[in-house]
Amino acid sequence: MGGSINTAHAGDAGRSDDRPALARMFAPRSVALVGVSGRPGSTMARPLTFLVEHGFVGEIHPVNPNYDEIDGHPCHPSLDAVPAPVDLVLVMVPAARVIEVVHQAGAVGAAGVIVFASGFGETGDAGADLQTRLRDAAREAGVRVLGPNCQGLLYAPASLCATFTSAAVRARAPREAGVAYVGQSGAIGGSILDLANEMGLGLTAWASTGNQADLDLVEVARALVDDDAVRVIMLYVEAVGDGAAYTDLARAAFERGKTLVVLRSGRSAAGQRAAASHTGAMLGNDAGFRLVSQRFGVIQVEDLDELLAVAAARAALAPMRGRRIAVVTTSGGAGSLAADRCAEHGLALPELAPATRDALAPLIPDFGALANPVDVTAQILGSDDAFGAVCDTVGADDSVDAVLVLLTMVVGDNGRKLARDLVRTAQALDKPILVVWLAGHDLTAEGRAALRAAGMPVFASVDGAVRAAARLAQAAVIDAAPSTPRIDRARLDGVLAGGRLDGEALLDALTVSRPHSSIVNSAAAARAAVEALGAPAALKLAGGALDHKSDIGGVRLGVSAEAAEATYESLMAAARAKNVPVAGVQVQSMIESGVELVIGATAAAEGFPPIVTVGLGGVTTELYRDTASALAPIDADGARALLRRLRAWPLLDGFRGAPPADVDAAVDVIVRVSEAMAFGEGRIGEFEINPLIVAAAGRGAMAVDVLVSPPAAVDSRDD
């Protein structure tokens, strides 16, 4: 390979370092095809045909006792009869015989095996058992297995085409783009391969991981990150079982300047435990995956077209360093549409500099437009190099990070000339040019071919191009961990050491302010508690399995000592009416009003780091779902950035003349909660303050209610 392949057997620390195994699979010196068919047109004849047609220069060894030779290659009755070393074994026998072949592959010293057969984990309990035995056999034999139920792999630098997908029939694109693909779905993988070839995107590597009995998508992608021939890796992800491995993959790609572009169809099981808190309910099941991806600049896309277009643009075009885009169009209507779409996707259309407009004036007819969007009109198309000169001028403007070119019915000779101009401009410009061509392929075939040969994707819609630009503009968000923790870790450990989680004790250990509070179990005790406070109090149902007290009328505010006994009885009656067991009634001092926030954190799950979430709090938390999340722990700058991402930020910043809230106090609480989750070492499952009432600047923030639960269940709460 162009670089080095580095991988270890997941979950098998005792196995010797087998990093060369994947290198030998991607660039084998010899390939054996066990069960290959000699019948022309047979699906299981294709791998041999493809190896030859794609120019594989290593040794090819068909293995099938029913043939003496296939297509001029001597055919051997078994693997051990092959008279030369074997690096890679393609297994084309039924599922019941696969384990036998895996053992034979190990015996002859093969590095890897690709299992095409289905009939494993996707078929039910018996198939799942067979797949487990296949995994065990691979480890016993000392080989790596890709599959089962997969479509194989390709590696262009070695001219290896080890697959049976009909997508490999199409002639390969003339140039490798440094783009690789790894995916869990065979059918999707075949489509990606075919569509990539159609758009002129020659893939450097392609792998279908199937059921992932041994090698999984993350391991294969991690190996490709270390390959000098690969710059961009497309991933089609259905599930990631090891968040730590995915985090390592994303971090490694970021550190090596590689780009991961991910299309995710499923949702991780992380977070699918019961979640009583607002935080757990609103995060979504794949929050860890999303936040790790955001942290390390992984581009997440929504469909196959976008996956291919973004990968192609990232590989072929200059990087997009900001979110400012200039539009050059042959149609004023298309320009207006682009302006709308840019606004929707968070891209800015900057005003062009006066010098830029002065330079454009001689190039564009009077009835065109020099503003952004720049409307060149159809009149310019007859002038040689004029369109390219416009794009050169616009792209040179310091306020522009990318140029979006919108072509309508520019066809024939004009289309060819324009495509030539765009290729020249793109090659000279240190900013990306994205092209939308709104005309039939048959009328623009030559122009599109010129763009394709240069590696420039052509978008079929304005929205598709703008969406791709927004993806290309996203940057890694490295949430900084606190350099000096704010919490006393020894004090935190002391609270968590007993095993029983106490929310108020946890707040005290974190030095988060809370109202004076006590839990009472009689009407008389309620009156005495209110009298002790010396002022009207808040009375709330406490503890038990109650998460949303207000839903059953379980909260009363401004209760006087005289009304305390009757209020206590009324609250307990409300609990009995709903058959909700409670620990009593909480008597709490009233506090001054302010902005209500929810500050929550959820534990690490499936290897992903813990998560801290902030949002608009109180009883409307789930209604508005105005939240922002980050991986924990975070520092003060990260906490403040989360607050600024909220739609409710103006309420904290002084909305319509109101005094600003004590943002510094809120930031302090966010940092401390994030540290508690990160340093709690798996002893806290969920931790939520709702509401945290943030008073006016300088007057602090108060945690009114707290919910805390153990890691694997939500059965111990302190409200």
150-191 pLDDT per residue, tens: 999 999 999 999 999 988 886 566 567 799 999 988 789 999
Highest mean pLDDT among 336-345, 623-632, 653-662: 336-345
Residue 583: predicted pLDDT:
87
Poorest-pLDDT segment among 136-140, 168-172, 335-339: 168-172
Alpha helices in 256-352 (DSSP H): 278-283, 287-295, 304-316, 332-344
Taking phi over 0 as left and psi of -120 to 50 as alpha, with beta for the rest, 558 belongs to left
Residue 283: predicted pLDDT:
52
Confidence of residue 11 (pLDDT cuts 50, 70, 90): very low
Residues of the chain with CATH 3.40.50.261: 18-314, 328-432+440-453
In the chain, helix, strand, coil percent, each to 5?
A: 40, 20, 40
Does domain 328-432+440-453 correspond to CATH entry 3.40.50.261?
yes
Residue 381: predicted pLDDT:
63
What is the arithmetic mean of pLDDT over 272-290?
Answer: 56
Q: Is the pLDDT of residue 529 over 50?
A: yes
- From CA 76, how far away is CA 61, in angstroms rounded? 7
Residues of the chain with CATH 3.30.1490.20: 516-589
Type of residue numbered 576: R
The CA–CA distances, whole Å, from 248 to 7, 12, 674 equal: 12, 17, 21
What is the arithmetic mean of pLDDT over 512-528?
Answer: 93
Confidence of residue 201 (pLDDT cuts 50, 70, 90): confident
What is the arithmetic mean of pLDDT over 423-440?
Answer: 91
Residue 383: predicted pLDDT:
64
Buried b (16+ CB within 10 A) or exposed e, 600-628: bbbbbbbbbbbbbbbbbbbeebeeeebbb
Q: Is the pLDDT of residue 584 over 80?
A: yes
- From CA 719, how far away is CA 559, in angstroms rounded? 19
Could you tell me which CATH number the domain at 18-314 has?
A: 3.40.50.261
Query: Is pLDDT larger for residue 282 or for residue 157?
Result: 157
Q: Which long-range contacts (CB under 8 A, 24 or more apart) does 83-87 make?
A: 84/30, 84/59, 85/29, 85/30, 85/109, 86/30, 86/31, 86/32, 86/61, 86/110, 87/24, 87/25, 87/28, 87/29, 87/30, 87/31, 87/58, 87/111, 87/112
Q: Is the pLDDT of residue 519 over 70?
A: yes
Q: What is the DSSP letter of 133?
A: H
Residue 275: predicted pLDDT:
36
Confidence of residue 227 (pLDDT cuts 50, 70, 90): very high
Residue 176: predicted pLDDT:
73
Could you give phi then psi for residue 269, rounded to 5 degrees?
-70, -15
Query: Is pLDDT larger for residue 165 or for residue 279?
Result: 165
Residue 271: predicted pLDDT:
38
Query: Is pLDDT larger for residue 15 or for residue 482?
Result: 482
Residue 61: predicted pLDDT:
97
Number of H helices, E strands in the chain: 24, 29
The CA–CA distances, whole Å, from 30 to 84, 106, 184, 190, 560 equal: 8, 15, 26, 24, 87
- What is the largest distance, in Å, between two alpha-carbon atoms of the chain? 101
CATH class of 595-709: alpha beta
Q: What is the DSSP letter of 239?
A: -
Residues of the chain with CATH 3.30.470.20: 595-709
Predicted model pTM: 0.85
Query: Is pLDDT larger for residue 310 or for residue 623?
Result: 310
Q: Is the pLDDT of residue 16 over 50?
A: no
Residue 253: predicted pLDDT:
96
Residue 395: predicted pLDDT:
92
- From CA 302, how far away is CA 314, in angstroms rounded? 16
- How would CATH label the architecture of 516-589? 2-Layer Sandwich (3.30)
pLDDT digits (tens, 9 = 90+) for 600-654: 999 888 889 999 999 988 766 666 778 999 999 999 999 999 999 999 999 999 8
Residue 455: predicted pLDDT:
82
